[in-house]
Amino acid sequence: MIHCARTDKGMVRTNNEDAFYLPEGEDKPLLFIVADGMGGHKSGEIASRMAVEEISSHINHSFLVRGSGNETMQIIKEAFYNANIKIYRTSLQREECSGMGTTATMALFKDGRVYIGHVGDSRAYILRDGCIRQLTRDHSLVWQLLEEGRLTLEEVRCHPMKNVITRALGVDENVDVDLVEHEYKKGDIFLLCSDGLTNMLEDKEIRDIILGAESVGAAADKLIEAANSCGGFDNITVEIILVD
């Protein structure tokens, strides 16, 4: 795997509430995480960092090299549950963290399959044969209205409530986690990103930038630059993984 990550506070925010994780060594699972925190007094930064730390720690310690797909999915689900309850309890115990939460989207590559865990409106994409496809569904109000046929995709992009999410880690004692399994092959490109990217750029623009770049690092830099050129209204984090 050839991979990279970039994060930027954008053009408007004074601090960066995003967090991310990359594999820490050849003996560790091929795990990638993006989290986008929310909450006042910089507690969003705390929530996203806790999510990344808890999810990566649990998966790194529980990962089964020869485990089945179902066992891998169960480990991912446990990792999200652990992160959720720790963030939730911290928000109750520390006044400055009250109401904090975070999205979390992760991808774990194993034996020709990628296992995705997802809560919130950060996204996972696959680029294959010149096409881009979103692998996750946004847990947001506008996405719900889109699925109900009450909004069009274009209306979703400019809706005043597009940042209202319906599911996040840490806002309740319990959380539902979306789990997705997908095969991968040589030449596939995977993208994990916060909504600071997808609120600024359409999928086609993201695809064209990635496919037109000379390397994954250059692609990540150009995505950040393009999102900022369009306003950079939020923090922007991207992880790109090329299956080599």
* pLDDT string in tens for the chain (244-residue length): 999 999 999 999 999 999 999 998 777 899 999 999 998 667 999 999 999 999 999 999 988 665 677 899 999 999 999 999 999 999 999 999 999 999 999 999 998 999 999 999 999 999 999 999 999 999 988 777 877 788 777 777 777 777 788 999 999 999 999 999 999 999 999 999 999 999 999 999 999 999 999 999 999 999 999 999 999 999 999 999 999 8
Q: Which residues contact 130 (CB under 8 A, 6 or more apart)?
A: 207, 211
- Note whether 59 and 108 are within 8 A (CB): yes
> Tokens 């050849």 map to which residue?
26
2-133+168-242: CATH topology is Phosphatase 2c; domain 1 (3.60.40)
What's the pLDDT score for residue 198?
95
What's the pLDDT score for residue 41?
66
> Dihedral sign, CA of 213, 28, 181, 167?
negative
- Note whether 123 and 134 are within 8 A (CB): yes
Residue type, 201: L
> Domain spans of the chain?
2-133+168-242
First to last CA, the chain: 5
